[in-house]
Structure 1
Amino acid sequence: MKSTTGIVAALIAVLGIALGTGVYIGSRSQAVAFDMEEPLTPFSMHEVQTNRPYSSDNGRVKLLSFVLTNCPDGTCPLTMLDFADLQDALTDRGLFGTDVELLSITFDPDRDTPEEFAAYAGAFNANPDGWRFLRADDSTVRAVADELNYVYALGDDGSAVHAVLMYLVDRDHQVRAVRRMTTSNERMDFDSVLRELVALAGT
């Protein structure tokens, strides 16, 4: 069984790889350096609110985050509260679900069952027209995370550690910015994220 200490050590090792590829974590700046020249490969997952398949190849601007319902440090629910505010702000601008969508992908699909993840989405009043809670098998989620240099580790005892990054992706799947999620110490740069999403939508 993996201990919490063990997965932390493993994550630190993986973070070293991420540092070497241009993504760094731990900066006090809200903007995070990244170096990803190739577009993100389009992916398919399962949307838990509507029980329908989801394809990212849909021409919409995306704010993509990885979450889990049993978040160890509160980062995930705090960030989802800000996503709820983004949902309202984008709706007010007529962009929500048409030009811009919010993606919350669980990286613990074994524990986050479709029913539990759908209930989690409901707790934040997520509108599936433009805020999609997505599940897929481990290999699919890991492939997307690896391409984004997003690192996480799960223990058999239910413990978890993960990066606190989210990704702004344009209509052509190019990652245009990497931002920090909301933590117990610092809120995401909400105004900047909203401004960037609106700009990428071309309005």
Structure 2
Amino acid sequence: MRSPVKRGVIVTSLVVLLGTGVFWWGTDGFTALTAETARRVEILRSPRPVPNVTLEDQDGNIFKLQDYQGKLLAVDFIFTRCTTLCRSMGMIFKQIRDLIPEKSLGRDFMLISISFDPDHDDPASLKKYGQAYGADGEIWRIARVPDKAELKALLEAFGIIVIPDEFGGFEHNTALHLVGRDGKLRLISDIDKAVPFAEEVVALL
């Protein structure tokens, strides 16, 4: 007959094992420990369609996001008055572009930086931002979504949170996004993962 101490140890062990199993199941094997991680895991498993919004680029050209279908598309979100993260994103996107084989640029792979501040980011502001990083307006466009409802839907699809700050700017999250040839968001990566992101693009090419 087991002693009360032994029975207690056995019961405790079973509770711990059961709790660990539930936690493992509930977090996809410890991979979805945050909402952001869970979102990224879900995108990998089930790529998400993105809305076919209308954009205006740094040259004043009007186009649709769906125009990129058939190509891989790197996407980031910025506002040109930003002096911190968005400046880093410009350098990171330049690095990604430079890591892609030249023969694929424009034909199989393109980049777009989308402003979430259409009230301030007119084509002239977008062009100035693009010129600072070598965005040519063809392979790499800087654009805005003039329609506020379309912009809201686009930010929600990509999981971008934008909060006005006390200085007239914005607090926002940022990431590297890859839209597949089918127009679906298929990969979200940290901004310090430019090289692995480019390697993923090359593998898909």
TM-score by length of 2: 0.73
Counterpart contact for 1:60–1:99, Cα < 8 Å: yes
CA shift for structure 1 position 23: 4.7
Instruction: Output the CA distance in 2 between the equivalents of 1:198 and 1:85.
Output: 14
CA shift for structure 1 position 200: 2.6
Structure-2 residue corresponding to 1:200? 204
CA shift for structure 1 position 126: 0.8
Gaps of 5+ in 1: 1-19, 182-187
Alignment of 1:1-203 (within 5 A): 23-24=35-36, 33-36=40-43, 37=46, 38-48=48-58, 50-57=59-66, 58=68, 59-71=70-82, 74-90=84-100, 92-137=101-146, 138-155=148-165, 157-181=167-191, 188-201=192-205
Q: Name the larger-Rg structure.
A: 2
Per residue, is there more helix in 1 or in 2? 2
CA shift for structure 1 position 171: 0.5
User: In structure 2, do the counterparts of structure 1 residues 43 and 199 end up closer, same or farther at CA, with 3 Å as the change threshold?
Assistant: farther
CA shift for structure 1 position 33: 2.5
* 1:50-102 superposed Cα distances (whole Å, 9 cap, x missing partner): 32112222321111110011225x11111211211222222x44111111111
Counterpart contact for 1:64–1:168, Cα < 8 Å: yes
Identity among equivalent pairs (%): 22
CA shift for structure 1 position 145: 0.6
User: In structure 2, do the counterparts of structure 1 residues 190 and 166 end up closer, same or farther at CA, with 3 Å as the change threshold?
Assistant: closer
- Relative contact order, CA 8 A, sep 6+: which one is greater? 1
CA shift for structure 1 position 118: 0.9
Instruction: Output the CA distance in 1 between the equivalents of 2:144 and 2:112.
Output: 11
Alignment coverage as a number of residue pairs:
167
Counterpart contact for 1:23–1:34, Cα < 8 Å: no
Alpha-carbon RMSD:
2.3
TM-score by length of 1: 0.73
